[in-house]
Amino acid sequence: MAMPADPDLILSVPPHMCAALAACEPSVAARAFAVFDPPASQLGSGGGTAHALHQAWRHSGADRFETWLNAQRRILVHGGGESRRLPAYAPTGKLFLPMPALRWARGQRLGQTLLDLNEPFLRQTLEGGGAQTRLLVSSGVVLLRSYAPLPPLPDADVVILGMWTSPEEAQRYGVLFVDPHQPQQLITFLQKPTPDEIRERSRDAAFLIDVGAWLLSERAVGCLLAKCGWDPRRQAFASGAGPAAYDLYGQWALSLGTQPAAADPDIAALTVAVVPVRDGQFYHFGATADLIESAYQLQNLVRDQTSLGEVSSLAQPRQFIQDSQFGAPVRLEKNHSLWVENSFVPATWTLASRHAITGVPANDWRLDLPAGTCLDFVPLEEDRWGVRGYGYADAFRGAAGDPATLWFERPAREWFRRRGIAWDDAGLDPAQDLQLAPLFPVLSHSELTAEFVAWLIAPQPAADAAYRAAWLAARRCSARELAQAANLQRLAAQRLALRRQVLPTMIGHGAKSVFYKLDLADTAQVLAASDAPLPADLPLSGDVLQAVHHQMFQAEVLRLRDDPAWRDVEAGSFELLRDAIVQPYRDEPVRPEFRLADDQIVWARSPVRIDLAGGWTDTPPYCLQHGGSVVNIALELNGQAPIQAFARRCAERTVTIRSIDLGLSETLRTYDDVGGYRGLGSGFAVAKAALALCGFHPQFNGGRFATLAEQLAQFGGGVDLSMLSAVPKGSGLGASSILSATVLGALSDLCNLGWDAQDIAARVSAVEQMLGSGGGWQDQFGGLLPGAKHLESQPGLSQRTVVRHLPAEFFASPEHQSRALLYYTGITRVAHDVLREIVRGMFLNEQGRLATLAAIGRNSRDCFDAIQLGDLPGYAAAIDRSWRLNQQLDSGTNPPEVAALVARIAPRAAALKLAGAGGGGFLYVLCHDADAALALRRELAADPPNPRARFFDMTASPAGLRVTRS
């Protein structure tokens, strides 16, 4: 697979991984440019940055570096290095550390990597950078997270993210000393100062640690490259070969700030800002112990066990087992600090604590691992492995014969002494750095025995001349050579094979594990490619949503295996969700009673709604598991409430439904007629479902009557229901749901049911499930309640919604009124198929969809804040994000016909978005100013895209649903 020509993600990785990226991580290779530092070079982080950028520019084919740099924003992640303190992942680099699925999160993937977990935060940071930002440089050994959204980022040449911490913690990192009254102002940067120095400086300055995320402008990148020898006139480095060695943190950064540690006028000319990350977390993965401790802290971020379902959090020990056949008996405390990955560990192994066990091939050994012992089997050519034993805290640094240089957490020379091996016999130089010493035998599978492995790792090995001779005779590799010679395709193949083998067991324990929170679309691909049978059905007596996920997972596996039964199985999962939402109304039957005057007519009318931000988060099952958050506004069109319903009792013992706008009518005489609401093609499906929910069907009235005629006799007569929807079909204004709400409002009054807005909205959700269309709750709330509001629900089947009304003055202001337009595009798109596709992704916890939905929810709160503050530019930015996020969620939101119209409007628009699911219908436009709005109105009136397209006058509805009687 060829690397993309000019991606926005640049990765600096070990040389071996660079070559194997397409085979081992194809999804990353498809979106990133991978590069490695020249062999035997010591470029440092600054020189490495310059080299990576230079190589990416040359790969792109652009003429000049500066033109390439300004073409788009990019992320550069440094993930190379020798990984001496975490040797198991030196061949691939720490970017590709396999990370366990986090039990509190949805959409995690089996086999996910540190890069996968880190990339969303990095992209969010880059997107929030100021206008000057061209590059984000990040360290690949850390994971950054933030509970709270990042604050607005300053527009400076250098922006550095920092987190507050203690001097003891800070001594391991770069430290930002800032003005305590203006923490964005950097005073001094120091690399790994002592705690005493930090305390001394903190008398006059506050301090944060550099978390390894730097935003650089074009000027800052140019300055850094110049320090590495870049000549912009020649478009080349001074040496003619590549950049000079230079350290970003140990040299360049020392010259930043108002009181720099090292004076440099070129660097001092750059503007600098520090951004403290509020509620941020910073996890380091520099060493084996860091790997387990950081994974443990991540796994236990959520302490509220009631929010985790069946998967408890506090019971999680420091034990992580991934992609492994594992049978060894373990106890939570005795066997703490355990990392087993891509390995066969049979029941005949005895484990202690502080182990990292990686890459172990199939075996039936009887093996006893001493505490603090780690085992790593590195696949090499054909069927040979490099057998690496080491200590949990080993650093692989220092002369092999130095008493301070540790191997197996003891002086390295002790290993040789206890086995009777002289330096000369082994061909070793005691002055040689341990990283370069050939310590690790290379063996075939048939040569691997438990006894020999035990001899290699034993603290006090038995004297055995045969094993000593075998070790001396074997080809041996150093830690550096293992990283350079590893067969990464074999490594990845073994990991995937093990994942496929253990997946059925994981599914079998799904009710008590993280399984149903995984990205089930990705997991289905793993199972579908194996020979494993389809998982058995779950009993329906358990968790309904778990059963829904399970059945959709079954359907996805069948679909991937080209089994036509997948459609029926998928339909079953939708049916499960439908029953979960509708069943409460069957369990609590209602009895309609007529208490009005004989000649009274009930008249209900509602506005439509425009969703401004948060749409889709209100849709089951997403809202049931995450809660929903939406900002919308109720609108009257051309001076009227366009959705209306009229209800009265009539003498005939039948139910007559009329559609004023369609010119159709239908008479219902039996319960079967009322129950014929399934099938969205019927013009009266909404009315029939609403009538059923109001008690005119035995499923919802407790079966009190044998026939509809008998019930209507008790009611005192029949029902005459007329409806009007004065908006074009496929408008995106929520007309179908609002019509349901309006009909239910009219029937509630006619039948003395006493439902309020929350009751009606919940029943509209039931109507939509009964019709098979699905859908969320924001449409009905948008029409039921007046004006603009922020609607928010909590996870759970009962979607009781909190409503926060927004100031009407914002939308009535001349600034908004003169700039806001509502345009009917004349393009029709019905959202049912789109809805089904997106809901399928919700059922399957598709990572990309869930991430986009989470961003949509965050944006709704930004929109709410902007309206509350009267911040029109902030409001426009939120509308623009809504439009971009909706397209990200569904590519069909902006089809070619719509895109052509948007291209005409965009030059005059500060923001725009299509209403609802998009693809057509109404377009809300916020123009740059009143003149732009007037010019756009004239242009489209003179030259509309089609004969149906036209402007509508819109006003915020002051009342929402109104129900009156004659």
Given a contact cutoff of 8 angstroms between Cβ atoms, the answer to whether 178 and 185 are in contact is yes
Q: CA end-to-end span of the chain, whole Å?
A: 72
Within 8 A by CB and 6+ apart from 200, the residues are none
Helix axes 488-508, 520-528, angle to 10 degrees: 110
Look at residue 837 in the predicted model and tell me its pLDDT: 86
Q: In the predicted model, what is the mean pLDDT of the chain?
A: 93
Angular region, 212: left φ>0, alpha ψ -120 to 50, beta rest: left
Enumerate the β-bridge partners of residue 356: 339
Look at residue 151 in the predicted model and tell me its pLDDT: 80
| Six-digit token string for 72 | 């788009």
Angular region, 170: left φ>0, alpha ψ -120 to 50, beta rest: alpha
Centroid of chain to Cα 416: 50
Measured between alpha carbons, how far is 593 from 577 in angstroms, rounded to an integer? 31
Look at residue 308 in the predicted model and tell me its pLDDT: 57
Alpha carbon distances (Å) from 563 to 321, 527, 556, 568, 698: 33, 14, 10, 11, 38
pTM of the model: 0.90
Whether 810 has a pLDDT exceeding 70, the answer reads yes
Look at residue 239 in the predicted model and tell me its pLDDT: 75
pLDDT over 70 for what percent of the chain?
97
Q: Which long-range contacts (CB under 8 A, 24 or more apart) does 233-236 make?
A: 235/64, 235/65
Q: What is the spatial order of strands in the sheet that 922-927 belongs to?
A: 909-914, 922-927, 820-824, 950-952
Centroid of chain to Cα 128: 17
Measured between alpha carbons, how far is 328 from 204 in angstroms, rounded to an integer? 55
Q: Which helix (H) or strand (E) holds 692?
A: helix 685-693
Measured between alpha carbons, how far is 427 from 421 in angstroms, rounded to an integer? 10
Given a contact cutoff of 8 angstroms between Cβ atoms, the answer to whether 961 and 745 are in contact is yes
315: exposed, middle or buried (Cβ count in 10 Å: 0-12, 13-18, 19+): exposed
Please state which of the ranges 222-226, 308-312, 881-885 shows the lowest mean pLDDT: 308-312
- Residue labelled with tokens 């000319």: 269
Centroid of chain to Cα 818: 38
Where residue 830 falls among pLDDT bands split at 50, 70, 90? Answer: low
Look at residue 775 in the predicted model and tell me its pLDDT: 84
Given a contact cutoff of 8 angstroms between Cβ atoms, the answer to whether 387 and 448 are in contact is yes
Closest-CA residue to 36 (of 75, 4, 79, 95)? 79
Measured between alpha carbons, how far is 56 from 9 in angstroms, rounded to an integer? 10
Alpha carbon distances (Å) from 162 to 145, 159, 208, 620: 12, 10, 5, 38
Within 8 A by CB and 6+ apart from 531, the residues are none
Within 8 A by CB and 6+ apart from 58, the residues are none
| Six-digit token string for 653 | 């013992």
| Six-digit token string for 133 | 């930002």
Helix axes 520-528, 544-560, angle to 10 degrees: 40
Among positive and negative, which fits the CA dihedral 25, 28, 32, 36? negative
Q: What is the pLDDT of residues 471-518, one digit of tens each?
A: 999 999 999 999 999 999 999 999 999 999 999 999 988 878 899 999
Q: What is the pLDDT of residues 58-115, one digit of tens each?
A: 999 999 999 999 999 999 999 988 899 999 999 999 999 999 999 889 999 999 999 9
- Region 515-523 average pLDDT: 96
Whether 366 has a pLDDT exceeding 90, the answer reads yes
Look at residue 282 in the predicted model and tell me its pLDDT: 84
Given a contact cutoff of 8 angstroms between Cβ atoms, the answer to whether 80 and 48 are in contact is yes
Q: What is the pLDDT of residues 579-615, one digit of tens each?
A: 999 999 999 999 999 999 999 999 999 999 999 999 9
Look at residue 2 in the predicted model and tell me its pLDDT: 59
Within 8 A by CB and 6+ apart from 705, the residues are 698, 711, 714
Measured between alpha carbons, how far is 256 from 272 in angstroms, rounded to an integer? 7
Measured between alpha carbons, how far is 909 from 609 in angstroms, rounded to an integer? 21
Given a contact cutoff of 8 angstroms between Cβ atoms, the answer to whether 38 and 60 are in contact is no
Whether 683 has a pLDDT exceeding 80, the answer reads no
Look at residue 540 in the predicted model and tell me its pLDDT: 66
What is the DSSP secondary-structure string of 370-424? PTTEEEEEEE-STTEEEEEEEETT----SBTT-TT-EETTEEHHHHHHHTT--HH
Q: Whats the size of the chain, residue-wise? A: 966
What is the DSSP secondary-structure string of 25-52? -HHHHTTEEEE-PPTT---HHHHHHHHH
Measured between alpha carbons, how far is 911 from 905 in angstroms, rounded to an integer? 10
Given a contact cutoff of 8 angstroms between Cβ atoms, the answer to whether 288 and 374 are in contact is yes
> In sequence order, which ranges of 869-929 are alpha helices (DSSP H)?
872-889, 896-905
SS3 328: coil
Q: What is the DSSP letter of 445?
A: G
Measured between alpha carbons, how far is 7 from 209 in angstroms, rounded to an integer? 30
Please state which of the ranges 10-19, 231-240, 479-488, 824-833 shows the lowest mean pLDDT: 824-833
Measured between alpha carbons, how far is 541 from 681 in angstroms, rounded to an integer? 34
Enumerate the β-bridge partners of residue 308: none
Whether 1 has a pLDDT exceeding 60, the answer reads no
Measured between alpha carbons, how far is 326 from 341 in angstroms, rounded to an integer? 10
Q: Cis before residue 38, ω within 30 degrees of 0? A: no
SS3 659: strand
Measured between alpha carbons, how far is 880 from 928 in angstroms, rounded to an integer? 13
Q: What is the pLDDT of residues 270-324, one digit of tens each?
A: 999 999 988 778 899 999 999 999 999 999 887 665 555 555 545 567 899 999 9
Please state which of the ranges 666-670, 675-679, 944-948 shows the lowest mean pLDDT: 675-679
Centroid of chain to Cα 792: 20
Centroid of chain to Cα 313: 21
